[in-house]
Amino acid sequence: MKDETEDQTEGLIKIERRGIWLCLIVVFALTAMLVASEMRRGGLPMVSPLFVILIVLGAAWVNRGSRDASTNASLERRELVTHDELRLAAVSRAYKWAFFLMLGGLTIFCFLSATAGVTLPAQTVAALAIATGVIAFLACFLLFDRA
């Protein structure tokens, strides 16, 4: 019985980590598209609809293993996994690192803007700062969380 519970817990952790990896890849790809469109000063009309379709298919692929989450025992195990002390500590450390990395990115941009004349629209700077924070959080969480 104990081995079965451990296997189910490990399965839940794998599903969670797979979803986090997918989120990291999606945010990174969206940020790369933003940077590419900003460098060309134009949109990427054919890539965007295809990318949205890939996001939907990827989300469906990631969630294919979580069909048994409707039972009470499975929901309780999921709560135990997500509210685990080690996971909460990893989330806390990832928030701290993401905050400082985001501030560091903004500081570097301000320095480059003042010295090298790098200029970007305000909405692009805000989107890049948010994307930097999200990417840093997800990457740090995957690094700090148990494997």
Q: Give pTM, 2 decimals.
A: 0.75
List the structure tokens of 34: 């933003």
List the structure tokens of 113: 């803007």
Ramachandran quadrant class, 41 (left: phi over 0; alpha: psi -120 to 50; beta: rest): left
pLDDT tens for 70-104 read 566 667 767 777 777 888 898 999 999 999 999 99
pLDDT average, residue stretch 37-54: 66
Which residues, in sequence order, are CB contacts of 91 under 8 Å at separation 6+?
A: 141
pLDDT tens for 1-34 read 566 666 777 777 787 888 888 888 888 888 888 7
Is residue 25 within 8 Å of residue 134, measured between CB atoms? no
pLDDT tens for 59-71 read 777 666 555 545 6
Measure the CA–CA gap between 133 and 98, rounded to whole angstroms.
5
